[in-house]
């Protein structure tokens, strides 16, 4: 089965289908601005057709044993590994991340995601529950919820979908999937691998199109039974309203603080903060959003961050020497520029970058940027920027570091640097963040580790990662039996 050469269509009920409207839109490369394909423009009619197809797919998955579904997931992983060169190429071309240093790693993670879900769910045992009533026997175990609505972003368009698709398939849920429009070719390439693994017709259905149309239909339609979404807090709030009453797994934005204590290895902290700020051009929910330090370490930290920004090699993401590519789309560029302008207007000092680099191929290239002496009221401190910007905020003392770290609305991931492990743990327990990395970058994560936002913040609901996702996409079913 091959994806049509000229038109990337929907995948519904086990077949590639043209959009109901007959409309296609161009897919463009952020590195050059050139059109690299055409993608189906879906609407609610296409979305409803996918939900109908998923009903049969879910029945077929439910009839399979856990071992059979695990074999299916392993076959998907095999197809991803067999197509890794093409997948990495289309990922770099359409998303913009460097081929050698980043794209291949994402493909490897996607294959691992299917393998881990396959094995973990096989051995998720239930419980034998003691009953007070004589003659009663009670058991509980995990079952699929039904049809999952999955809406995914453009920053990791291969691996983030896998974080939902693999656990859903392993557990027996069918999926209707709405990928980000700006990385639709990536979604089609991943769907091709899933289709070639021989899954039941309707088990996974892909519909391209605007999130406000296709994604909204998936989320709000009574034919779906759960929602998985990674994206912005604003969109997450809308999804929570539109899908009210359904189980939700929402991984939303972050503005991760990296806290550098006075006794830290400052050079090491700066290197990790730079990696977190510039990896994937800063388009990471767990990116280094802001760097907090006291005046004692400020000068050394600023120096090392500025050097690190200058060492990044920007350019064509398909070239092996490139270590930072373009931003993915105009909307994120507009936000990055607005946040930088706001920071400078409020007294921030520009140490590196702060400008577009259109000479590299398109207007979406933005130089790695370091801004120092940033105030707490700046947008760079209060909101997620999602670009290659490393803002430094100088705090009065250790108490002030915690106050500023917890003062923003996000609470997804953080980094803390200190040579004193006891002190680092005290800070880690005090920072309001779902994930805290000690002496490591804020964006460190492995697929089986729980990942999600702190309560009371804007960073989401539930936990991705390993068994935590499998628990999120399944119900606990309890059965009692009277022995008479």
**Catalytic-role residue among 41, 102, 251, 384:** 251
Cα 90 off chain centre by = 18
Catalytic annotation present for 398 = no
- Per the annotation, the verdict on 34 as an active-site residue is no
Active-site entry in 73, 168, 186, 285: 285
Following DSSP, what letter does each residue of 239-271 receive, concatenated? HHHHTTTS-EEEE----EEEEE-TTS-HHHHHH
Provide long-range contacts, Cβ within 8 A and 24+ apart, for 390-393: 390/273, 390/274, 390/277, 390/278, 390/288, 390/291, 390/305, 390/309, 391/289, 391/290, 391/291, 391/343, 391/348, 392/290, 392/291, 392/293, 392/298, 392/301, 392/302, 392/305, 393/290, 393/291, 393/292, 393/293
DSSP 359: G
The residues that bridge with 175 in the sheet, in sequence order, are 148, 204
Q: What are the structure tokens assigned to 63, written together?
A: 């009839």
Residue with tokens 């090491």: 268
- The two tokens of residue 356 are 């577009």
Please check whether residue 114 is in contact with residue 70, taking contact to mean a CB–CB distance below 8 angstroms.
no
- How far is C-alpha 258 from the geometric centre of its chain's CA atoms? 20
The residue written with tokens 């903060």 in the block is 273
Sign, CA dihedral 106-107-112-115, equals: positive
CA atoms 117, 386, 441, 377: torsion sign: negative
Measured CA to CA, the distance from residue 442 to residue 269 in angstroms comes to: 11
Instruction: Please name the residue that has the structure tokens 């998985």.
Output: 228
Block residue for tokens 């609505």: 149
Q: Could you tell me the two tokens for 19?
A: 């959009």
Phi-psi region of 199 (alpha: psi -120 to 50; beta: other; left: phi over 0): beta
Is the CB of residue 176 less than 8 Å from the CB of residue 202?
no
Using DSSP, state whether 25 is helix, strand or coil. strand
Query: SS3 sequence, 408-446?
Result: CCCCCEEEEECCCHHHHHHHHHHCCCCEEEECCCCCCCC
Q: Could you give the count of Cα atoms lying within 13 Å of 363 in the half-sphere of its Cβ?
A: 8
Residues marked active site are found at: 251, 285
């Amino acid at each position: 089965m091959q994806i049509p050469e000229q038109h990337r269509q929907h995948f519904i009920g086990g077949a590639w289908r043209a959009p109901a409207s007959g409309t296609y839109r161009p897919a463009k490369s952020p590195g050059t601005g050139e059109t690299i394909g055409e993608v189906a423009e879906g609407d609610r009619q296409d979305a409803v057709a996918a939900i109908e197809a998923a009903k049969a797919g879910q029945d077929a998955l439910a009839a399979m044993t856990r071992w059979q579904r695990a074999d299916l997931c392993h076959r998907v992983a095999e197809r991803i590994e067999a197509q890794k060169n093409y997948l990495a190429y289309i990922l770099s071309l359409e998303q913009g991340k460097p081929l050698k240093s980043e794209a291949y790693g994402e493909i490897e993670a996607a294959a691992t995601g299917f393998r881990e879900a396959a094995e973990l769910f096989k051995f998720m045992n239930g419980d034998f529950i003691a009953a007070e009533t004589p003659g009663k026997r009670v058991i509980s175990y995990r079952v699929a919820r039904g049809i999952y609505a999955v809406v995914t972003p453009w920053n990791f368009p291969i691996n983030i979908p896998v974080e939902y698709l693999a656990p859903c398939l392993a557990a027996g849920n069918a999926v209707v999937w709405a990928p980000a429009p700006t990385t639709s070719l990536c979604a089609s390439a991943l769907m091709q691998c899933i289709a070639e693994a021989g899954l039941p017709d309707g088990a996974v259905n892909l519909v391209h199109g605007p999130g406000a149309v296709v994604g909204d239909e998936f989320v709000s339609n009574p034919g779906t039974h759960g929602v998985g979404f990674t994206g912005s807090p604003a969109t997450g709030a809308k999804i929570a309203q539109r899908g009210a009453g359904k189980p939700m797994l929402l991984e939303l934005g972050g503005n991760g603080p990296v806290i550098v204590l006075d006794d830290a290895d400052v050079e090491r902290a700066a290197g990790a903060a730079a990696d977190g700020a510039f990896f994937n051009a800063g388009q990471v929910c767990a990116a280094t959003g802001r760097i907090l330090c006291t005046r004692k370490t400020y000068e050394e930290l600023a120096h090392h961050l500025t050097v690190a920004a200058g060492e990044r090699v920007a350019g064509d993401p398909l070239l092996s020497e490139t270590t930072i590519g373009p931003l993915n789309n105009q909307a994120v560029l507009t936000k990055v520029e607005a946040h930088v302008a706001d920071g400078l207007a409020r007294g921030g000092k520009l140490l590196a970058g702060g400008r577009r680099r259109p000479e590299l191929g398109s207007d979406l290239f933005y130089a790695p940027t370091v801004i120092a002496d940033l105030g707490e009221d700046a947008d760079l401190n209060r909101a997620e920027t999602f670009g290659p910007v490393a803002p430094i905020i100088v705090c009065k003392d250790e108490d002030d570091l915690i106050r500023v770290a917890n003062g923003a609305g996000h609470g997804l991931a953080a980094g803390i640097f200190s040579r004193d492990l006891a002190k680092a743990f005290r800070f880690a327990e005090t920072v309001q963040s779902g994930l805290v990395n000690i002496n490591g970058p804020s964006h460190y994560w492995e697929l089986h580790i729980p990942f999600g936002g702190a309560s009371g913040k804007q960073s989401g609901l539930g936990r991705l990662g390993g068994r935590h996702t499998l628990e999120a996409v399944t119900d606990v079913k309890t059965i009692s039996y009277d022995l008479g």
